Amino acid sequence: MNYGMIPQTVIDEVLRRHEISDTVGKYVHLTKNGKYLKGLCPFHSEKTPSFTVTPEKQIFHCYGCGKGGNVIKFVMEMEGETFPEAVKALAEEAGIPITWTTANTEEPSAFQKEKQTLHEAHDYSLKLYHYLLKNMEVAKLAREYLHSRGFNDALIEHFGIGYAPARWDTLTQALERKGYSLAEMEAGGLLSRRQDAEGYVDRFRDRVIFPIHDTSGNTIAFAGRLMSDGQPKYLNSPETPLFNKSRTLYRLHEARPAIRRARQVVLFEGYVDVIKAWSAGIHNGVATMGTALTGEHAAMLKRFADEVILCYDGDDAGQAAAHKSIPLLEEAGFRVRVSILPNRMDPDEYISSYGPEPFVREFIDGAVSAVKFQLIYLRKSHILLEEDGKIRYLRDAVRIVARKDSPTERELLLKELAQEFGVSLDTLKQESLEFRQQEKLGNVGDIPAGSWNNVWNENRSTSKNPPLGAANVNAERQLLSWMMQDKETALLVQQRLGERFLIEDHAALAAYLYAYYAQGNDPDIGRFVTVLQDDRLERSASAIALIEVPYGEKELEDFLRTIERASESKGSIEQKYEEMRRADRAGDKLQAAQILKEILSLEKQRKQL
């Protein structure tokens, strides 16, 4: 077996060297529950643990969202990596020599070649801009500006900050000398087309340059801060084959480990804020790139964090942006807190003026809850010195509180409002109840109590399988579970049933198991999952592998006969359908109707098998 150019022996060694509970434990707090380990699923928001790790079988499975697989699959899901990328990362961590190439043996497409060229050109541009800032006289004012803003040489080096001279063709000439097509460089956002003549010019001129990276750490774009008078003061690369603002967060590639450890991300508005916060010890900070927060941003962050702290500018625009971002983040499943900076300051200004310790204490550790911020923000639109203003504010405030799921949180917030405005707590609670009834707000839970089992996951399946009786479905699952654990059972099932599993996914898993054992492999569920390379089948396999039913020859025979009868019934039904179609084509509507009646009877019998 081979993926790209990764030898199967390496994949096996990666699985052997990485105990799944240790790897998962770096991301999820696990507690022992018999032979299983349980924890809150890192892939979806939940309050009741439905995520399991089975060290004995080296697999994970979530009964809530259905994700499952081995340690490689877990890293793929957590880090958003491909199979080769996850294997490579785990191999490096285990000290396994990287002696293979993950490149596709097929000829790369034109689009892949274009992206590769642009990656190389961006890397070269980054090095050039950085060299110019550090060494050239023309960059003296830029160096002085950065030092005045609190950027020491170590920060400049760490973040790869550079400088684009005021000349029109510094980068253009450099790229041309390196043999790059200037038209391609313009399409990649590094150059601009001349407006008054043929040819190209540098997009960034007389600007301090901040490189932007993708989640793998590749340079994909730049942001520039203008040193002279003019507009725009801040300029980002345009959207290109490499750079999509709605799917890019500044420094996420570097902040990701800290975000995972804390399960918390601090979201800033600008790259300078991220850098200054980094210098203050906040290593889990990222920023959007000249665009509002999007659902795609939220989905990216949800893989690594459960809580977001919005640390936007303290001016009206920054607070409005924070207010707008709260529902988007809460809908994605985050707990949200908000920093409220004083005197319309931004994080960079506050850290420069007062130092890192007060900033962390007051605005990171001391960030207020989202609902508290919404109540504070709401005050701006009401005149609280007037009686009517107070009444309108209280009604709007109670509506915000009413939308909170936690009865305890609602009680505490309403009590604060009652005390501040001198009104009855019971009155506010009654109004809150009315709002909840109007908006049909009930208790939003996770998985129903007592449903932490295979039935819950089975019921939420979207598979397009024909309706079958519970006995037949159960028989196929039990057989597959035993087949994963015992080679002889798999061979017996192959002889008796072959491909006659009626659930599509079950038939596919059986076929993979037959091939797996035919290659001389021994039972190893974690290793078998790597063969599948299909998300749906991996989920199904991990769920089936957790079925705990003692093996018995009588039970085995019963399951085989159940499936054989169901298969025969299916064959009879298919034959009847063909007879009905022939009768219909012959114009014998009465005969077709009679056969349809027989089909319905057979379908009913099959569901009872």
Mind listing the pLDDT tens digit for each residue in 570-596? 555 555 556 667 767 777 777 766 756
384 against 226, higher pLDDT? 226
Is the pLDDT higher at 80 or at 66? 66
518 pLDDT tier (thresholds 50, 70, 90): confident
Distance in angstroms (rounded) separating the CA atoms of residues 506 and 492: 16
What mean pLDDT do residues 404-418 have? 88
> Rounded mean pLDDT of 393-418?
88
Look at 145-149, 416-420, 551-555 and tell me which has the smallest mean pLDDT: 551-555
Which pLDDT belongs to residue 108?
Answer: 65
What integer is the mean pLDDT of 128-150?
A: 95
Residue 232: asked if its preceding bond is cis (omega within 30°), the reply is yes
Q: Is pLDDT larger for residue 109 or for residue 282? A: 282
SS3 at position 270: coil
Fold of 252-367: Dna Topoisomerase Vi A Subunit; Chain: A, domain 2 (3.40.1360)
Q: Are 191 and 172 in contact (CB under 8 A)?
A: yes
pLDDT band at 446 (very low <50, low <70, confident <90, very high): very low
pLDDT, residue 603, reads 58
Q: Return the axis-axis angle of helices 370-378 and 316-331, rounded to nearest 10°.
A: 140
Does the pLDDT of residue 158 top 90, yes or no? yes
Decide if pLDDT at 366 tops 60: yes
pLDDT at position 510 over 50: yes
Question: 283 Cβ partners below 8 Å, 6+ apart?
Answer: 254, 255, 258
The predicted pLDDT at position 437 comes to 85
Q: What is the residue extent of each domain of the chain?
A: 8-94, 110-236, 252-367, 381-439, 470-602
pLDDT at 196: 80
How much is the pLDDT for 605?
57
**Statement: residue 389 has pLDDT above 80:** yes
Return the minimum-mean-pLDDT range out of 50-54, 76-80, 378-382.
Answer: 76-80
Asked, colleague to colleague, whether 110-236 and 470-602 share their fold, the answer is: no
Q: What is the pLDDT of residue 163?
A: 98
- Residue position matching structure tokens 């499943």: 333
Which pLDDT does position 476 carry in this prediction? 85
**Residue found under tokens 């809460």:** 330
Question: Band of the pLDDT at 466, cuts 50, 70, 90?
Answer: very low
Q: Is the model's pLDDT at 400 over the cut of 80? A: yes
| Residue pLDDT, tens place only, 69-106 | 999 999 888 876 778 888 988 998 888 887 765 444 45
pLDDT over threshold 60, residue 117:
yes
The reported pTM is: 0.61
Q: Which two tokens stand for residue 464?
A: 């397009």
Average pLDDT, stretch 359-384?
Answer: 91
C-alpha distance from residue 608 to each of 192, 467, 502 (Å): 70, 11, 15
More confident: 437 or 580: 437
pLDDT (mean) for 379-401: 85
Question: What per-residue confidence (pLDDT) applies to 354?
Answer: 94
Task: Check residue 151 and give its pLDDT.
Answer: 94
Say which residues have a Cβ less than 8 Å from residue 44's Cβ, sequence separation at least 6: 62, 64, 65, 333
pLDDT at 184: 95
pLDDT at 407: 87
> Lowest-confidence range among 102-116, 227-241, 540-554?
102-116
Between residues 402 and 163, which one has the greater pLDDT?
163
- The residue ranking higher by pLDDT, 421 or 171, is 171
CATH superfamily assigned to domain 110-236:
DNA primase, catalytic core, N-terminal domain (3.90.980.10)
Q: Where are the beta strands (DSSP E) in 332-456?
A: 335-338, 368-369
Q: Is the pLDDT of residue 410 over 60?
A: yes
Please state the rounded mean pLDDT for residues 7-28. Answer: 89
Cβ burial of 175 (10 Å; 0-12, 13-18, 19+) is buried
Can you tell me the mean pLDDT for 141-147? 96
- Among 468, 480, 533, residue whose Cα is nearest residue 506: 480
Question: How high is the pLDDT of residue 101?
Answer: 59
What is the per-residue pLDDT for 592? 63
Q: In terms of pLDDT, which residue wins out, 7 or 192?
A: 192
- Kindly indicate the confidence band of residue 463, based on its pLDDT and cuts at 50, 70 and 90: very low
Cα–Cα–Cα angle for 496, 497, 498, rounded to 5 degrees:
110
Would you place residue 169 in the very low, low, confident or very high pLDDT band (cuts 50, 70, 90)?
very high
Over residues 234-255, the pLDDT tens digits come to: 999 999 989 988 889 999 999 9
Q: What is the CATH architecture assignment of 470-602?
A: Orthogonal Bundle (1.10)
Q: What is the mean pLDDT of residues 275-283?
A: 95
> What mean pLDDT do residues 222-233 have?
91
Over residues 47-74, the mean pLDDT reads 88
Highest mean pLDDT among 4-8, 144-148, 486-490: 144-148
Going by their DSSP bridges, the two strands 200-202 and 59-62 should be labelled as unpaired
Strand, coil or helix: 111: helix
In angstroms, the Cα distances linking 70 to 19, 74, 508, 524 are 10, 6, 18, 11
Q: 183 or 296, which is more confident?
A: 183
Please report the pLDDT score of residue 107 as a whole number: 64
Element (H, E) at 68: strand 68-69
Burial call 497-532: b when 16+ CB within 10 Å, e when fewer: beebbbbebbbbbbebbbebbeeebebbbbbbbbbb
User: Considering the chain, what percentage of its residues have pLDDT values greater than 70?
Assistant: 87
Task: Considering only residues 105 and 205, tell me which one the structure prediction assigns the higher pLDDT.
Answer: 205
Instruction: Kindly state which CATH superfamily the domain 8-94 is placed in.
Output: Zinc finger, CHC2-typedomain (3.90.580.10)
